[in-house]
């Protein structure tokens, strides 16, 4: 029995890139051998075992044969006669098809080291065409290593397009699509993931709400970039530089999806796109099983980002509603997440270029007014129940009105 470190850990060590992955493959063993050694079986589709000391996963070397649709449509063969080369041949990209033995020597039958040097993402074999998940994985690696100058080989992009054209991509289950998408959102250049999916045709199948934004022009000269889809990906790139929060990045990604339906709804301008976008986001999140945290922030940013841009102009009642609905009455962090998303959107608008985005300071001060409005005297009096809430609301509105007047007096002076 021989054990090799494989895949991402080898790749990232050679790249001198931070990695938490540690995958192992076992050659010349059977499931019973692993169990006798104390490894705990966990694999459903093929034999994977947990090392009792490290808690890491060890998979038996295997080959596979296409037997159905999607990434689960395979039958696996694992036996003592499966070699390391057999196992590596089934992997997606050459840079992921390397192994390392106990002495640290690299086994590289498919020239992964050369592709690392040349900064190329290239598929190993025609087996790539059997697994639609590899379209998303390749797009994710393109996002992961974009800042290092990596590109997808032309023949691999052709293979990705062929996979989409075959219809296999539509058989991916929602959980795997979201898992790859969520991981891509955490990369340094998440916009590259979505651009790659669009280039391969996969975005139109998996996220049509986003895909239809490309080729549609803004109906006004308010934006720096005229194409809505391009503007969306530029915004996502800015969000990635501003925050590591993937929920914020997702909110920026989807907050203008309503513009993709504006023209089809016979609207003269793209006014009201934020309202149109809300059910589209709900549909997208339901289809991909997006976590509620992501969904809620995306809906909040979509609904209120235009009000945020006009925060200094809002009447006290509307200002209070905005603050309460974004969660600012209970959490300063919820307000900050919302503001970061709105700041990214503001950066794409001509009116905010080379100007301070005053909404940040204004809404932070307004939030302080909101949460510091006391009802202690009401609680101590005979007022009770819902009446306390109604009177608190009136007080908050009045204090926000006073704040608004004072703020403008100070800034206009």
Range among 102-106, 334-338, 386-390 rated most confident: 334-338
**Can you give the pLDDT at residue 123?**
97
Taking the C-alpha atoms of residue 387 and residue 378, their distance in angstroms, rounded to an integer, is 9
Half-sphere exposure of 350 (CA within 13 A, CB side): 8
Does one domain contain both 215 and 336?
Answer: yes
Does one domain contain both 140 and 223?
Answer: no
Does one domain contain both 189 and 314?
Answer: no
**Can you give the pLDDT at residue 312?**
93
Does one domain contain both 312 and 386?
Answer: no
**Can you give the pLDDT at residue 76?**
60
Residue 127's pLDDT band (boundaries 50, 70, 90)? confident
Half-sphere exposure of 55 (CA within 13 A, CB side): 1
* Predicted confidence (pLDDT) at residue 271 exceeds the cutoff of 90: no
* Predicted confidence (pLDDT) at residue 265 exceeds the cutoff of 70: no
Does one domain contain both 382 and 282?
Answer: no
Does one domain contain both 328 and 276?
Answer: yes
Residue 379's pLDDT band (boundaries 50, 70, 90)? low
Residue 412's pLDDT band (boundaries 50, 70, 90)? very low
Last residue of a domain, one of 200, 232, 250: 200
Give domain status of residue 362, yes or no.
no
Query: What does the pLDDT look like over 168-199, one tens digit per residue?
Result: 999 999 999 999 999 999 999 999 999 999 99
Give domain status of residue 211, yes or no.
yes
**Can you give the pLDDT at residue 294?**
98
Residue 71's pLDDT band (boundaries 50, 70, 90)? very low
Structural domain range at position 383 = 373-412
Residue 28's pLDDT band (boundaries 50, 70, 90)? confident
Lowest mean per-residue pLDDT among 44-58, 87-101, 337-351, 393-407: 44-58
Does one domain contain both 300 and 396?
Answer: no
Q: What are phi and psi of 384, to 5 degrees?
A: -145, 165
Lowest mean per-residue pLDDT among 153-157, 189-193, 263-267, 336-340: 263-267
Partners of residue 66 on adjacent β-strands: 74
| Rg of the chain on CA atoms, in Å | 26
Give domain status of residue 194, yes or no.
yes
* Predicted confidence (pLDDT) at residue 298 exceeds the cutoff of 90: yes
Give domain status of residue 30, yes or no.
yes
CATH number (domain holding residue 144): 1.10.110.30
Give domain status of residue 139, yes or no.
yes
> pTM of this prediction?
0.89
Give domain status of residue 69, yes or no.
yes
What does the buried/exposed string (b/e) look like for 166-188 if buried means 16 or more CB atoms within 10 Å of the residue's CB?
Answer: eebbeebeeebbbbbbbbbbebe
Residue 44's pLDDT band (boundaries 50, 70, 90)? low
Query: What does the pLDDT look like over 129-146, one tens digit per residue?
Result: 988 999 999 999 999 999
Does one domain contain both 297 and 398?
Answer: no
Does one domain contain both 343 and 378?
Answer: no
Question: Tokens for 331?
Answer: 């959490």
Residue 201's pLDDT band (boundaries 50, 70, 90)? very high
Last residue of a domain, one of 200, 232, 266: 200
Map residue 364 onto helix, strand or coil. helix
Mean per-residue pLDDT of the chain: 88
In whole angstroms, what separates CA 103 from the centre of its chain? 38
For the four alpha carbons of 322, 289, 58 and 62, in that order, the dihedral sign comes to negative
* Predicted confidence (pLDDT) at residue 268 exceeds the cutoff of 70: no
Mean pLDDT, residues 390-407 taken together: 92
Indicate the number of domains in the chain.
4
**Can you give the pLDDT at residue 14?**
94
Residue 20's pLDDT band (boundaries 50, 70, 90)? confident
Query: What does the pLDDT look like over 73-82, one tens digit per residue?
Result: 445 656 677 8
Does one domain contain both 79 and 125?
Answer: no
Closest C-alpha to 97, from 3, 11, 183: 11
Does one domain contain both 337 and 378?
Answer: no
Does one domain contain both 235 and 302?
Answer: yes
CATH number (domain holding residue 99): 3.30.460.10
CB atoms < 10 A from the CB of 273, how many? 23
**Can you give the pLDDT at residue 232?**
95
Give domain status of residue 364, yes or no.
no
Mean pLDDT, residues 337-358 taken together: 86
């Amino acid at each position: 029995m021989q054990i090799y470190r494989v895949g991402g850990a080898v790749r990232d060590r050679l790249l001198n890139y931070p990695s938490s992955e540690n995958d192992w493959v076992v050659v010349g063993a059977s499931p019973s051998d692993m169990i006798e050694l104390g490894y705990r079986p966990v694999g459903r589709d093929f034999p994977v075992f947990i090392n009792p000391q490290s808690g890491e996963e060890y998979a038996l070397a295997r080959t596979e044969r296409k037997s159905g649709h999607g990434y689960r449509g395979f039958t696996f063969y694992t036996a003592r006669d499966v070699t390391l080369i057999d196992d590596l041949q089934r992997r997606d990209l050459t840079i992921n098809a390397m192994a390392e033995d106990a002495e640290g020597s690299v086994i590289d039958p498919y020239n992964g080291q050369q592709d690392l040097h040349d900064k190329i993402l290239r598929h190993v074999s025609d087996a790539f065409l059997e697994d639609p998940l590899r379209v998303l994985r390749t797009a994710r690696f393109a996002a992961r290593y974009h800042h290092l100058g990596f590109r997808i080989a032309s023949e691999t992009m052709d293979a990705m397009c062929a996979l989409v054209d075959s219809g296999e991509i539509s058989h991916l289950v929602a959980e795997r699509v979201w898992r790859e998408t969520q991981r891509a959102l955490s990369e340094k250049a998440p916009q590259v993931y979505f651009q790659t999916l669009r280039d391969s045709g996969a975005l139109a199948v998996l996220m049509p709400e986003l895909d239809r934004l490309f080729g549609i022009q803004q109906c006004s000269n308010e934006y720096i970039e005229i194409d809505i889809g391009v503007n969306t990906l530029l915004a996502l790139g800015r969000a990635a530089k501003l925050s590591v929060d993937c929920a914020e990045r997702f909110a920026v990604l989807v907050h203008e999806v309503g513009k993709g339906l504006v023209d089809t709804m016979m609207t003269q301008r793209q006014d009201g796109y934020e309202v149109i976008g809300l059910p589209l986001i709900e549909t997208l999140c339901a289809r991909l099983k997006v976590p509620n945290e992501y969904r809620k922030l995306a809906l909040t940013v979509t609904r209120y980002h235009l009000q945020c841009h006009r925060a200094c102009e809002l009447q006290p009642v509307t200002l209070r509603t905005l603050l309460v609905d974004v969660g600012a009455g209970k959490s300063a962090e919820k307000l900050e997440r919302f503001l970061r998303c709105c700041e990214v959107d503001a950066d794409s608008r001509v009116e905010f270029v080379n100007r301070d985005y005053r909404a940040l300071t204004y809404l932070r001060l307004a939030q302080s007014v909101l949460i510091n409005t006391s009802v202690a005297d009401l609680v101590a009096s005979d007022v009770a129940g819902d009446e306390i809430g109604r009177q608190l609301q009136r007080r908050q509105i009045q204090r926000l009105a006073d704040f608004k007047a004072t703020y403008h007096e100070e800034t206009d002076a």
